[in-house]
Structure 1
Amino acid sequence: MINKTSPTTAVVATGIGAALFFVLGRFLVIPTPIPNTTINIQYALLAVFALLYGPVVAGLMGLIGHFLIDATSYGPWWSWIVASAIAGLIMGLMTLKDNVQDGPINSGGLVRFNVAVVVAHAV
């Protein structure tokens, strides 16, 4: 069954998701020993929102959230901003069949979710 959310819920989820994406991406970054490389956990949140609310919310969340991160640091890099939006869109499209609001998803849904995350990040 396809997940149907009201437009109001989608707008609120987009706003909250973009704000959380910004906070996690700007202030909660895990440094690594490799120069100029960090672990960013905001993409895990993007995957969860894609599963819960679908491709439109996830795409806008990635677009707005990443724009805010770039705008408050070194300036917008549109290639990375659009890549975050496309990643959210792909994850949302690949998990449309998983309706988690009706109950837990089965093992096939979990496999589909993980494949969606890998494919979205590979693209």
Structure 2
Amino acid sequence: MLRSLPDARSHALDLGCGSDHLVRQLTSCFEAVTGVDSDPAIIQDVAVPANTRLLVSEALAVQERADLITLLAVLHHLPLRSALEHVADLLNPGGRFLCVGLARPRSLMDWAWAVGNVVANPLIGLIT
């Protein structure tokens, strides 16, 4: 993910940040970083750098605009269409959405999507 950051680096938003590992890595690359998780137990008492804050919230309730929005092993927990529309609404022009999914393919459509990604992801990596 860190190799695919956008040029604009004012604000990064990690939806479903969990124990904040990615948030910590992003703090050296962005002016401000917000990590969001719906489970307060995961992010309570976590010390973060000055340019970082952690919020307890549902991912689809967040209203902050950002140059980078990440979903690391989170998208399969959300309603796909509304999650992607929400991310598109929050993303600043020229911003980037980075997602890593971990859901197992279950339907023919899931398998088609997985096969397409096997081909597309390396190509996307070459052009970014």
* Structure (1 or 2) with the greater strand fraction: 2
* Structure (1 or 2) with the greater helix fraction: 1
Is TM (by shorter chain) over 0.5? Answer: no
TM-score norm. by structure 2 comes to: 0.28
TM-score norm. by structure 1 comes to: 0.29
Q: 1 or 2 for the larger relative contact order (CA 8 Å, sep ≥6)?
A: 1
